[in-house]
Amino acid sequence: MTITTAPTKAEELAALRELASRLGPDSYLGPWLLDCLGYLAAEITADIRPTSPAEMYRQASEWRINAEAASRLMRAEARQALDNANATADQVLAKAQAEAEEIRERLASAIRSAQREVWA
C-alpha cells in the first residue's frame, strides 16, 4: 500500500513553474501561468486558498455592474442638482431684474418730481 502525502507549497509552485516552462512563451497557458505565480505564491504562503479565475471574473463583473449603476445614479443626481441650480438662478435673476426695474421707475419718478420742483 502506497501512502501519498500532499505536496508542499513549494512543490506546488515548482510544478506550476515547470509546467509553464514546458508549455513555453508561445503557448496559451504558459505566459498566463507565469503571470499568476506571484499571486498564487502570496496566497498560499498566507495559507489562503487562491480565488479561482472564474470567481475573480464574477466579482469583477459584479463590481463593474455596481459601479455603472452608481455612476448612472450620480449623473442623474448631478443633472437634477444642476437643473435646480439653474431654476434658482433664473428666479433670482428675475427677482433682481424686477427690483432693478422698480428702482429705475422710482428714480425716474423722483427725477421728474425734482425737475417739476426746480422748474416750478
Closest CA to 50 of 58, 59, 41, 62: 41
What pLDDT, on a 0 to 100 scale, did the predictor assign at position 119? 83
Residue 102 vs residues 17, 69, 86, 95, 114: alpha-carbon distances, Å = 85, 49, 24, 10, 18
Whether the model clears a pTM of 0.85, i.e. scores above it, the answer is no
Hey, where are the domains in the chain?
8-50
What pLDDT, on a 0 to 100 scale, did the predictor assign at position 118? 84
What pLDDT, on a 0 to 100 scale, did the predictor assign at position 39? 95
Q: Write out the DSSP string of 18-61.
A: HHHHHH-TTSSHHHHHHHHHHHHHHHHHTT-PPPPHHHHHHHHH
> pLDDT (tens digit, 0 to 9) for every residue of the chain, 120 residues total?
677 889 999 999 999 999 999 999 999 999 999 999 999 999 999 999 999 999 999 999 999 999 999 999 999 999 999 999 999 999 999 999 999 999 999 999 999 998 988 887
What pLDDT, on a 0 to 100 scale, did the predictor assign at position 49? 94
What pLDDT, on a 0 to 100 scale, did the predictor assign at position 116? 87
What pLDDT, on a 0 to 100 scale, did the predictor assign at position 84? 98
Q: What angle do CA 71, 73, 79 make, to 5 degrees?
A: 100
In this structure, which amino acid lies at residue 67? A
